[in-house]
Homo-oligomer: A and B are copies of this chain.
Amino acid sequence: MFIEIEPDSTVPIYLQLAQQIIEGVAKGTLKPGDSLPSVRSFAADLGMNMHTVNKAYHYLEEKEFIQIVQKKGVVIHEKGVRKATATDRQRLTKEMRPILAEALCLQLSQEDIELLVKEIILDLKEVK
């Protein structure tokens, strides 16, 4: 896993970490059953606190992306991540909405935005 943290970002460190793990799952770099580093070793590698990694893990567990096995370790959810529910779609829509509104204000056309989305998805799919 190649993790790059921006310390001065407004996005909390634990969230940046969690999001990049999610990206790993999306790309297929992280496959179902793969194990993640322990909170201590990961924290040491990334130069952050053990509790920060722990927070990221629990964030991912709540989203059902990973499984935390008591006293053993952390594993990408076996059998793959669950399929999106109606609630998931609703949440994703809500998160996307203000960004798209801003894009429209900045005079991006519907085609421009759709192209932008396609590029992002393409980039998320290609394994580097």
Total interface residues in chain A, CB < 8 Å: 41
Indicate if the CB atoms of A121 and B113 lie closer than 8 Å.
yes
Contact, CB under 8 Å: B124 / A101: yes
Closest to A18 in B: B98
What's the Cα separation between A78 and B67 when bound, in Å?
53
- Taking the nearest CB of chain B, how far is it from the CB of A58, in angstroms? 16
Q: A88-B106, A116-B92 are in contact. Are A22 and B98 (CB under 8 A)?
A: yes
User: In the complex, are the beta carbons of A84 and B101 less than 8 A apart?
Assistant: no
Task: Give A84 Cβ to nearest chain B Cβ, in Å.
Answer: 4
A interface residue numbers (CB < 8 A to B): 19, 22-23, 25-26, 63, 65, 80-84, 88-89, 92-93, 95-108, 110, 113-114, 116-121, 124-125
A-B residue pairs in contact (CB < 8 Å), sample of 14: A22-B105, A25-B101, A80-B107, A81-B107, A83-B106, A83-B107, A84-B103, A88-B106, A92-B102, A96-B96, A100-B120, A101-B124, A104-B121, A104-B125
